[in-house]
Amino acid sequence: MKKFNRIGIVGLGLIGGSIALELKKRKISKYVYGFSRKISTMKKARKRGIIDRYFLSFEKMVSSVDFLIISTPIKVIENYFLVVKKINPSLLMTDVASVKEEIVKKAEKILGKNSKFIGSHPIAGSEKSGIDAVEEGLFKNKTVVITPTENSDKSCIKKVEFFWKSLGANVYFLKPDVHDRILGFTSHLPHFLVFSLIETFISQKNKKEMMKYFGTGFFDTTRIGKSNPDMWTDIFFSNKEVLVFWICEFEKTLKKMKNLLEKDRIDEFLKKLKKIKEVRENIENA
Amino acid sequence: MKKFNRIGIVGLGLIGGSIALELKKRKISKYVYGFSRKISTMKKARKRGIIDRYFLSFEKMVSSVDFLIISTPIKVIENYFLVVKKINPSLLMTDVASVKEEIVKKAEKILGKNSKFIGSHPIAGSEKSGIDAVEEGLFKNKTVVITPTENSDKSCIKKVEFFWKSLGANVYFLKPDVHDRILGFTSHLPHFLVFSLIETFISQKNKKEMMKYFGTGFFDTTRIGKSNPDMWTDIFFSNKEVLVFWICEFEKTLKKMKNLLEKDRIDEFLKKLKKIKEVRENIENA
């Protein structure tokens, strides 16, 4: 497939910035343009050479590119769709958000069923964020989920797939709602639980004393508790119904496990833990 | 303080084996003896040179050492106390278990109030276990909690403190019940939650499909789900009342967080997440 001529990226955080870096390094696009709300971020990106040029107006960038990647917080994506509709409604677009159904629906609502927006979600985030967290090879062997709808243009899907594969990613396709349900468990629920675990700690009186006794287990388990609060509030509320479902599922399981403990059902509990260890090891080797 | 002459270790797993290794490397004891239920484990330890000698009978080791470290599963520690009582009741002893009140009480019950058993808990475990997981420098800059009681002999406490410091550890003192309450939160609760999260996954129908979409966040958070099932069943049931208390505390917090989500209280939720991130970062830098 032909490489890209002018790719524009709006939002130059960990994901957007790392895409830019990779596009330049792998020479996937002749030009890489960037737009961010913060001039300082754009200047940094330009200085590091991960974009060829930045724009002070999003409108101008939209009229100068043939592929737009929206790498911004979920709640503002709609605003960018509105600008695209006005200036270049047939522009090929993708995004990188962790929730898909809401965004895909908004794209169709704003840009119509012939919109050339194809949703994407690179599972490559971390607790770090922002332009300073930009990382070479971030997408190598990482999973990217593409979430077309029945209205999506086949050639647009192909181009977006080609784009991600060019960055070294493994591409899977899911319906937007299926994506949200699965990621609601594999990603959103663990984040919600870890935040809640730290919140439980915050409500304790003897925090200073307790703090001496955290081990590596706690640190690894709660690393994602350092994640960007705005981004995760955004994700949780965009996938609210699904997440509430998963929290309830977890609550039920936790109650069952607690019940085995309270009722001294040691053998049954041990049997479960053995299965849990086995499954956890299988997940990693899958 | 004088170094040790003959240290005996019963249980040559990750912790017991790593203690032996360090004792030899740092020349803290003239002789290091080992006992394990499995001859193969003792032979491995001898072959690796981390013990000078192994015993086929625990009784014989007890009569040959001047300091005994019990590094076995919690539920069998009592049996070793019974043997010590018979053969060498004034032997200086410590252990390495993650739960302390039950063990300290049993020591006083079996060996009397003049017992020279001083409970210890090196916070140095990992999801790995067994002789093959033995690691050099495992205790360096790690926290070890020593849990004396009001009956504990001062010079015994000093010796046990000296022992752990010789291995490079930072030593703290806690009452046994305070230890169990704090570690119930910092260590046992996170393990219980992670096991329950994986258990929730196990009950899903489309596991094979879901497995493709785990990211590094999930893997880091659930790494401790690979921990030794026997050991953790042992820990959970030995600290049952405390753990049930912490699970209930967590359940309450989770419910509150879920409630903010369901009621669309975004600002309040975001404020909490900001505080959570800050606290999590402070914990690590403490």
User: Within this chain, do residues A119 and A188 fall inside the same structural domain, yes or no?
Assistant: no
Q: What's the rounded Cα separation, in Å, for the pair A268 and A273?
A: 9
Q: Do both B39 and B157 map to the same domain?
A: yes
Asked if the model's pLDDT at residue B8 lies above 90, the reply is yes
Do residues B151 and B202 both lie within one domain? no
**For the segment A125-161, what is each residue's pLDDT rounded down to a tens digit?**
888 999 999 999 999 999 999 999 999 999 999 999 9
Is the separation of the CB atoms in B88 and B114 below 8 Å? Answer: no
| Among candidate residues A276, A254, A103, A97, the one with its CA nearest the CA of residue A187 | A97
Handedness of CA A50, A51, A57, A60 (dihedral sign): negative
CA distance A84 to chain B (A): 28
**Same domain (yes/no): B268, B130:** no
Interface membership of A251 toward B (CB under 8 Å): yes
Return the residue of B nearest to A219 by Cα. B284
Nearest alpha-carbon partner for B74 in A258, A266, A268, A215: A266
A150: which DSSP letter? T
Q: Which of B192, B223, B283 sits opposite A257 (nearest CB)?
A: B192
SS (H, E, C) chain B: CCCEEEEEEECCCHHHHHHHHHHHHCCCEEEEEEECCCHHHHHHHHHCCCCCEECCCHHHHHCCCCEEEECCCHHHHHHHHHHHHHHCCCCCEEECCCCCHHHHHHHHHHHCCCCCEEEEEECCCCCCCCHHHCCCCCCCCCEEEEECCCCCCHHHHHHHHHHHHHCCCEEEECCHHHHHHHHHHHHHHHHHHHHHHHHHHHCCCCHHHHHHHCCHHHHHHCHHHHCCHHHHHHHHHHCHHHHHHHHHHHHHHHHHHHHHHHCCCHHHHHHHHHHHHHHHHHHHHC
Give tens-digit pLDDT for B51-109.
999 999 999 999 999 999 999 999 999 999 999 999 999 999 999 999 999 999 999 99
The last residue of one of the domains, among A143, A176, A209, is A176
- Residue A2: the pLDDT is 72
Number of separate domains in chain B:
2
- Give which of A276, A279, A284 to mutate to test B binding, by max B Cβ within 10 Å: A276
Residue whose structure tokens are 């209280």? B265
Share of chain B above pLDDT 70, in %: 100
- A256 to chain B: nearest residue by CA? B196
Nearest to B213 among A143, A195, A202 (CB): A143
CA–CA gap between residue A161 and residue A155 (Å, rounded): 10
What tokens were used for A224? 């994602």
Residues B154 and B187 in one domain: no
Are residues A157 and A32 located together in one domain of the fold?
A: yes
- Cα A112 to its chain centre, rounded Å, is 24
Do residue B250 and residue A200 have CB atoms under 8 angstroms apart? yes
Distance from CA of A80 to the nearest CA of B (A): 22
Q: How far apart are CA A114 and CA A153, in angstroms?
A: 7
Q: What is the CATH number of the domain that holds B17?
A: 3.40.50.720
Say if the Cβ atoms of A187 and B218 lie within 8 Å.
yes
Q: What angle do CA A90, A94, A98 make, to 5 degrees?
A: 145
- The answer to whether B19 and B71 are in contact (CB under 8 A) is yes
CA A54 to chain centre: 24
Question: For residue A132, what is the DSSP state?
Answer: G
Task: Based on the fold, state whether residues A210 and A121 are members of the same structural domain.
Answer: no
The one-letter code for the residue type at A2 is K
Dihedral of CA A128/A130/A132/A136: which sign? Answer: positive
Long-range contacts of A152-155 (CB under 8 A, 24+ apart): A152/A118, A153/A114, A153/A116
Label the pairing between strands A93-95 and A117-122: parallel
- Cβ separation of B221 and A222 shorter than 8 Å? yes
Are both B71 and B185 inside the same structural domain?
no
Given a contact cutoff of 8 angstroms between Cβ atoms, the answer to whether B276 and A195 are in contact is: yes
Q: What is the pLDDT of residue A125?
A: 85
Q: What is the pLDDT of residue A111?
A: 96
Question: A30 φ, ψ to 5°?
Answer: -60, -45
- Calculate the dihedral angle through the C-alpha atoms of B139, B143, A200, B235, rounding to the nearest 10 degrees: 60
B212–A172 CB contact, under 8 Å? yes
Taking a contact as any Cβ pair under 8 Å apart, which residues of chain B between 188 and 247 contact chain A? Answer: 189-204, 206, 209-230, 232-233, 236-237, 240, 243-244, 246-247
| Same domain flag for A10 and A97 | yes
Stated as kind and residue range, the H or E segment containing A164 is helix A154-166
Does B210 contact A284 at a Cβ distance shorter than 8 Å?
A: no
Domain limit, last residue, from A130, A147, A176: A176
Task: Count CB atoms within 10 A of the CB of residue B243.
Answer: 25
Q: Per-residue confidence at B156, pLDDT binned at 50, 70, 90?
A: very high
A47 and A157, same domain (yes or no) = yes
Interface test with A, best of B74, B209, B233, B269 (most A CBs within 10 A): B233
* Residue A58: C-alpha distances to residues A35, A83, B180 (Å): 6, 8, 57
> Which of B232, B240, B258 has its CB closest to that of A244?
B258
Chain B positions touching A209 (Cβ under 8 A) are 182
Distance from CA of A47 to the nearest CA of B (A): 30
CATH number at residue A240: 1.10.3660.10
pLDDT at res. A206: 94
Q: How distant is the Cα of A132 from the closest Cα of chain B, in angstroms?
A: 18
Chain B contact for A261, CB < 8 A? yes
CA-nearest residue of chain A to B144?
A213
Nearest of B133, B63, B261 to residue A238 by alpha carbon: B261
Contacts for B180 with CB less than 8 Å, ≥ 6 apart: B99, B100, B101, B239, B242
The answer to whether A162 contacts chain B (CB < 8 Å) is no
Give the nearest chain A residue to B233 (CA atoms). A270
B2: amino acid identity, one letter: K
Contact status, residue B107 vs residue B119, Cβ threshold 8 Å: yes
Helices B229-238 & A266-285, crossing angle to 10 degrees?
Answer: 140
Q: Is B267 on the interface with A (CB under 8 A)?
A: no
Give the burial class of A264: count Cβ atoms within 10 A of its Cβ; 0-12 exposed, 13-18 middle, 19 or more buried.
exposed
Residues A218, A212: Cα–Cα separation, whole Å: 12
| Dist. CA B175–CA A26, nearest whole Å | 59
Tens digits of per-residue pLDDT, B120-131? 999 998 889 999
Q: State whether B56 and B159 are in the same domain.
A: yes
Of A129, A145, A176, the last residue of a domain is A176
Quick one: B150 and B232 in the same domain?
Answer: no
Local confidence pLDDT in tens for the 286 residues of chain A:
778 999 999 999 999 999 999 999 999 999 999 999 999 999 999 999 999 999 999 999 999 999 999 999 999 999 999 999 999 999 999 999 999 999 999 999 999 999 999 999 999 988 899 999 999 999 999 999 999 999 999 999 999 999 999 999 999 999 999 999 999 999 999 999 999 999 999 999 999 999 999 999 999 999 999 999 999 999 999 999 999 999 999 999 999 999 999 999 999 999 999 999 999 999 987 7
B19 residue type, one letter: I
Contacts with A44 (C-beta within 8 Å, 6 or more apart), sequence order: A12, A131, A132
Could you report the per-residue pLDDT of B216-252, keeping only the tens digit for each? 999 999 999 999 999 999 999 999 999 999 999 999 9
Give me the domain span that covers residue A256: 179-285
Quote the pLDDT of residue A63: 96
B196/A254 CB distance under 8 A = yes
